[in-house]
Amino acid sequence: SAVLNVDLQTDAMLQVDISDALSERDKVKFTVHTKSTLPNFKQNEFSVVRQHEEFIWLHDSFVENEEYAGYIIPPAPPRPDFDASREKLQKLGEGEGSMTKEEFTKMKQELEAEYLAIFKKTVAMHEVFLCRVAAHPVLRKDLNFHVFLEYNQDLSVRGKNKKEKLEDFFKNVVKSADGVLVAGVKDVDDFFEHEKTFLLEYHNRVKDASAKSDRMIRSHKNAADDINRIASSLYTLGTQDSTDLCKFFLKVSELFEKTRKIEARIAADEDLKLADLLKYYLRESQAAKDLLYRRSRALVDYENANKALDKARAKNRDVLQAETSQQLCCHKFEKISESAKQELIDFKTRRVAAFRKNLVELAELELKHAKGNLQLLQGCLGILKGNT
Amino acid sequence: MLLVTKKFHNKSEFEFMKLFAARNDSFLSADANVELSTDKSGSSARKEPSGPRHASSFTPSPAAMQPTSLEQVQATAEPNPLKTCENLSTNCVMFLSSLGDGMNAYVAYKVSTRTSLPMFRSKVFSVRRRFSDFLGLYEKLSVKQSLHGCIIPPPPEKSVVGMTKVKVGMDDPSSVEFVERRRAALERYLQRVVSHPSLLQDPDVREFLEREDLPRAVNTQALSGAGFLKMINKASDAVNKMTIKMNESDTWFEDKFQEVENEEQQLRKLHVVVDSLVNHRKELCGNTAVFAKSLAMLGNSEDNTALSRALSQLAEVEDKMEQLHQEQAASDFFIFAELLGDYIRLLGAVRGCFDQRMRAWQRWQEAQSTLQKKREAEAKLLWANKPDKLQQAKEEITEWEARVTQYERDFDRIGMTVRKEVLRFEKEKAKDFKSQIIKYLEAMLQSQQRLIKFWEAFLPEAKAIA
């Protein structure tokens, strides 16, 4: 799906979407399609092929850019993970001899549908990232972003090697240690103090809810799978003979076949509307926390620069240098604070809107499926009771 | 006498039991009424709410009426209306009490009967029985010659592990579930016994229902769950090892036996999957409860008021879903899984009848060959001219001729009994499966209706987010 972004000031339009995707052995190739009237692009419409690592490169380049310290960097999409699905398909292939042809075909269809669902999800998540960037008034102008969109060769961004991953890990450890330190200092500004308290708690709770929603949905899928096998088993029983009871079994088997499709859909919709929503806001709230951290760091730098200036004035040495440094820190801090405030307000607006949309859709889908189930059951019971 | 009123530490397991019990109008600490009635189409057991009990007709088809030909077997598959006595009703009621303590504790079940059948001493009576008594009843019935060929309902399985846990601490929810499962299984067992026309006439059955102090049953070790099936299978093996192969005049018995074996296999497979469903449903239940709490916490920290409220409402919906899943799991188990378990055991019993017939045939063949040997011996004696031994030989021949006739009659009789029993069984089975599965589906339907209500209530809350 595409998001139309109109820059009211320059009248330039930037529209990004993933128009196609190809799943190969161990990677996914996304076709990133851009429509734009921005002058810096050579054409108005073009496409390139990108892999997951290149999205990560782009995200990291935003994070590392000092200019963007005052913004919530749109969270990077998670790595496409087909391992579990592939393993299941392989196991199915190995176990082909031990089940009937119908069972095998059914299971294969199920697993292929699952694979497809995961595929669609990863495409959606990569697309959301690009759309968020394209919607951001500052980030959309980023040069790396434009290169990402337009350069039709491989960006040659290899994944981080072990050493770099380790460095990242330690950086995060330090950051969280700092985070704890910084979080302890009460902010003068009420707005930021409130946001800090709020985000710390909110992030943890979203994390918890996300993990638990996943477990719940997995159980639901398992139950739906069982109903599938029950349907098959009843079908076998029903085909043994043509007695009344056998006909009964066939009818019930048919019912279970249909209800389990609905149950599987319910699990999938809960996954999409609830679990994915929570996962996304887990990542976004982390990005918001990172922003607060950067602001805190800037504040600490500013306070240190003040102290250095005082010391310089006292010693009457390198005063000008200290003054310049202090002014830079002050400016940086104020710039971050100003944009951070707006970013956090926008974050809330986006969050509320996203939750509203997803919860309404979730409720509507649950209702639709429950009514579908109800109808099936009523219909089947009517026939079964009528015949006995 | 201690009433089992347990403290339920884990609310959800207790709810699991109560929900199922509630739906079937029986509570752990109250009486469960089971009414036995027959209408024109055979005997069935229906559960009635406790309180005013009402009579319905019960027709024991006289065991004395042994059909003498195949046509009559087909005709008497339906209870003959002309054979009904006056309107009667028999009820079987159970509830639990636990006596003793520690490892010597045992659970006593109260078996209550209400009847107007003249062969019983009173109209309403109840007795205390323990699990081994039920096994003992089966033991007695299964060895009776007169009941050979009859499909004698097998009792529920013994479970050393389950029972030990119960003995140690009656408080925990899995014990509660275990005891309720057993109680329900024993009740179904008795229902099947008393709804069998020949078994109801049996004095051991009557004694079981009526007699105050029943002598302790011995030799019930053999009748553990695994033991029961081992017994059946051992018998099958003996039959398979028979050197003389039976020449069936009609293939009905062979075909039917094969059918029964196939069906048993299929039901086993289905049972495994239904068990899996029960477990996954219970898992779903637990995970939903945990998620609901987590969602409530999230709602608490959300600083947009409307969204906060909506999340709390969603948490409540998930809580209600947990309740539904619980009920559904109870339904999966008590209605579906137990039905399958019962019939797997019953089909084993059916196989047992076929084996009994084979052994009767074997006995007849052996008697015939013995008779043949006696005749040959007589012929030899005639030749050898030993008059005193000859007399004995003639006597023996007469004796064995009588036996051969008897065993042939036995074999024919068992054959007809088996046919009749199988027909009756198939009708009962069809009715049982249909009624239970319909009950199961109706429970599912109710679930969906409630689900719809929950989400309909939530939707405006979600839309109100601003």
B303 and A348: CB-CB below 8 Å? yes
Of B269, B295, B462, Cβ closest to residue A363: B462
B291 and A363: CB-CB below 8 Å? no
- Looking at beta carbons, which residues of chain A come within 8 Å of B466? 352, 356
Q: What pLDDT score was predicted for residue A347?
A: 95
- Looking at beta carbons, which residues of chain A come within 8 Å of B276? 226, 229
Q: Nearest-CA distance from B35 to chain A in Å?
A: 21
- CA-based nearest residue in chain B for residue A231: B270
- Looking at beta carbons, which residues of chain A come within 8 Å of B298? 202, 205-206, 208-209
B459 and A226: CB-CB below 8 Å? no
So where are chain A's domains? 1-77+124-153, 188-387
- The Cβ of residue B367 has, within 10 Å, a number of other Cβ atoms equal to 19
- The Cβ of residue B52 has, within 10 Å, a number of other Cβ atoms equal to 7
- CA-based nearest residue in chain A for residue B290: A212
A44 burial type by CB count under 10 A (0-12 exposed, 13-18 middle, 19+ buried):
exposed
Instruction: Say which amino acid occupies B53.
Output: R
- CA-based nearest residue in chain B for residue A228: B273
**Cα-to-chain-centroid distance, residue A89:** 25
Of B291, B429, B465, Cβ closest to residue A352: B465
Tell me which CATH homologous superfamily contains domain A188-387: Arfaptin homology (AH) domain/BAR domain (1.20.1270.60)
398-457 in chain B: CB under 8 A from chain A: 426, 429-430, 433-434, 437-438, 441-442, 444-445, 448-449, 451-452, 455-456
- Looking at beta carbons, which residues of chain A come within 8 Å of B269? 233, 236
The CATH architecture assigned to A1-77+124-153 reads 2-Layer Sandwich (3.30)
CA B74 to CA B56: how far, in whole Å? 26
Per-residue model confidence as pLDDT tens for chain A (388 residues): 444 555 445 557 899 999 999 988 778 999 999 999 888 888 999 999 999 999 999 999 999 999 999 999 999 999 988 888 888 888 888 877 777 787 788 888 888 888 888 888 899 999 999 999 999 999 999 999 999 999 887 777 666 666 666 666 666 665 665 565 555 666 778 899 899 999 999 999 999 999 999 999 999 999 999 999 999 999 999 998 889 999 999 999 999 999 999 999 999 999 989 999 999 999 999 999 999 989 998 998 999 999 999 999 999 888 899 999 999 999 999 999 999 999 999 999 999 999 999 999 999 999 999 999 999 999 999 999 886 5
- CA-based nearest residue in chain A for residue B281: A223
Of B303, B311, B452, Cβ closest to residue A374: B452
Q: Nearest-CA distance from B289 to chain A in Å?
A: 9
Residue intervals in chain B for CATH 3.30.1520.10: 1-47+61-226
**Cα-to-chain-centroid distance, residue A193:** 27
Confidence at B44, pLDDT banded by 50, 70, 90: very low
**Tokens at residue A337, please?**
């604070």
A227 burial type by CB count under 10 A (0-12 exposed, 13-18 middle, 19+ buried):
buried
Of B287, B302, B314, Cβ closest to residue A216: B287
A383 touches chain B (CB under 8 A): no
- Looking at beta carbons, which residues of chain A come within 8 Å of B291? 209, 212-213, 215-216
- CA-based nearest residue in chain A for residue B303: A198
CA B465 to CA A215: how far, in whole Å? 27
- Looking at beta carbons, which residues of chain B come within 8 Å of A205? 294, 297-298, 300-301
Tell which phi-psi region holds residue B102, choosing left (phi > 0), alpha (psi between -120 and 50) or beta: left
Cα angle A137, A139, A141 (rounded to 5 degrees) comes to 85
B307 and A371: CB-CB below 8 Å? no
B259 touches chain A (CB under 8 A): yes
Confidence at B9, pLDDT banded by 50, 70, 90: very low
Of A216, A255, A378, Cβ closest to residue B284: A216
Predicted ipTM?
A: 0.87
Q: Is the model's pLDDT at B415 over the cut of 80?
A: yes
B284 and A385: CB-CB below 8 Å? no
B287 touches chain A (CB under 8 A): yes
- Looking at beta carbons, which residues of chain B come within 8 Å of A198? 301, 303
Is the CA virtual torsion B136, B256, B197, B57 positive or negative?
positive
A366 and B303: CB-CB below 8 Å? no
B459 and A356: CB-CB below 8 Å? no
214-233 in chain A: CB under 8 A from chain B: 215-216, 218-220, 222-223, 226-227, 229-230, 233
B270 and A244: CB-CB below 8 Å? no
- Looking at beta carbons, which residues of chain A come within 8 Å of B287? 212, 215-216, 218-219
A370 touches chain B (CB under 8 A): yes
Q: Which residue has the higher pLDDT, B35 or A162?
A: A162
Tell me the per-residue pLDDT of B100-155, one tens digit each, with 9 for 90 and over.
566 666 777 888 888 878 888 888 888 888 888 899 999 889 888 778 889 999 98
Q: Nearest-CA distance from B440 to chain A in Å?
A: 10
> What does CATH list as the number for B1-47+61-226?
3.30.1520.10
B294 and A230: CB-CB below 8 Å? no
Q: Nearest-CA distance from A365 to chain B in Å?
A: 10
Which of A107, A212, A348, A381 to substitute to test the interface with B, most B CBs within 10 Å?
A212
**HEC profile of chain A:** CCCCEEECCCCEEEEEEEEEEEECCCCEEEEEEEEECCCCCCCCEEEEEECHHHHHHHHHHHHHCHHHCCCCCCCCCCCCCCHHHHHHHHHHHHHHHHCCHHHHHHHHHHHHHHHHHHHHHHHHHHHHHHHHHHHCCCHHHCHHHHHHHHCCCCCCCCCCCHHHHHHHHHHHHHHHHHHHHHHHCCCCCHHHHHHHHHHHHHHHHHHHHHHHHHHHHHHHHHHHHHHHHHHHHHHHHHCCCCCHHHHHHHHHHHHHHHHHHHHHHHHHHHHHHHHHHHHHHHHHHHHHHHHHHHHHHHHHHHHHHHHHHHHHHHHCCCHHHHHHHHHHHHHHHHHHHHHHHHHHHHHHHHHHHHHHHHHHHHHHHHHHHHHHHHHHHHHHHHHHHHHC
Span of A151-165, A298-312, B305-319, B363-377 with lowest mean pLDDT:
A151-165
A207 touches chain B (CB under 8 A): no
A357 touches chain B (CB under 8 A): no
pTM: 0.79
Tokens 């046919």 identify what position? B419
- CA-based nearest residue in chain B for residue A220: B284
A364 and B276: CB-CB below 8 Å? no
B156 burial type by CB count under 10 A (0-12 exposed, 13-18 middle, 19+ buried):
buried
Q: Nearest-CA distance from B259 to chain A in Å?
A: 8
297-316 in chain B: CB under 8 A from chain A: 297-298, 300-304, 306-307, 310-311, 314
Q: Which residues contact B359 (CB under 8 A, 6 or more apart)?
A: B235, B238, B239
- Looking at beta carbons, which residues of chain B come within 8 Å of A378? 445
- Looking at beta carbons, which residues of chain A come within 8 Å of B436? none
Q: Nearest-CA distance from B42 to chain A in Å?
A: 14
Tell me which CATH homologous superfamily contains domain B250-466: Arfaptin homology (AH) domain/BAR domain (1.20.1270.60)
Q: What pLDDT score was predicted for residue A104?
A: 83
Task: Tell me the sheet residues that pair with A14.
Answer: A5, A36
B430 and A216: CB-CB below 8 Å? no
Q: Which residue has the higher pLDDT, A201 or B158?
A: A201
Q: Which residue has the higher pLDDT, B249 or B270?
A: B270
Task: Tell me the sheet residues that pair with B129.
Answer: B109
Is the CA virtual torsion B324, B327, B329, B332 positive or negative?
negative
Q: Which residues contact A190 (CB under 8 A, 6 or more apart)?
A: none
Q: Nearest-CA distance from A5 to chain B in Å?
A: 23
Residue intervals in chain B for CATH 1.20.1270.60: 250-466
Q: Which residue has the higher pLDDT, B5 or A247?
A: A247
A193 touches chain B (CB under 8 A): no
Count of CA atoms in the C-beta half-sphere (13 A) of B138: 25
CA A210 to CA B3: how far, in whole Å? 45
Span of A60-69, A345-354, B40-49, B235-244 with lowest mean pLDDT:
B40-49
| Residue B183 · residue B166 · CB < 8 Å | no
φ, ψ of residue A99 in degrees (nearest 5): -135, 165
**HEC profile of chain B:** CCECCCCCCCHHHHHHHHHHHHHCCCCCCCCEEEEEEEECCEEEEEEECCCCCCCCCCCCCCCCCCCCCHHHHHHCCCCCHHHCCCCCCEEEEECEEEECCHHHCEEEEEEEEECCCCCCCCCEEEEEEEHHHHHHHHHHHHCCHHHCCCCCCCCCCCCHHHHHHHHHCCCCHHHHHHHHHHHHHHHHHHHHHHCCHHHHHCHHHHHHHHCCCCCCCCCCHHHCHHHHHHHHHHHHHHHHCCCCCCCCCCCHHHHHHHHHHHHHHHHHHHHHHHHHHHHHHHHHHHHHHHHHHHHHHHHHHCCCHHHHHHHHHHHHHHHHHHHHHHHHHHHHHHHHHHHHHHHHHHHHHHHHHHHHHHHHHHHHHHHHHHHHHHHHHHHHHHHHCCHHHHHHHHHHHHHHHHHHHHHHHHHHHHHHHHHHHHHHHHHHHHHHHHHHHHHHHHHHHHHHHHHHHHHHHHHHHHHCCC
Q: Is the model's pLDDT at B170 over the cut of 90?
A: no
B190 burial type by CB count under 10 A (0-12 exposed, 13-18 middle, 19+ buried):
buried
A248 touches chain B (CB under 8 A): yes
| Residue B106 · residue B99 · CB < 8 Å | yes
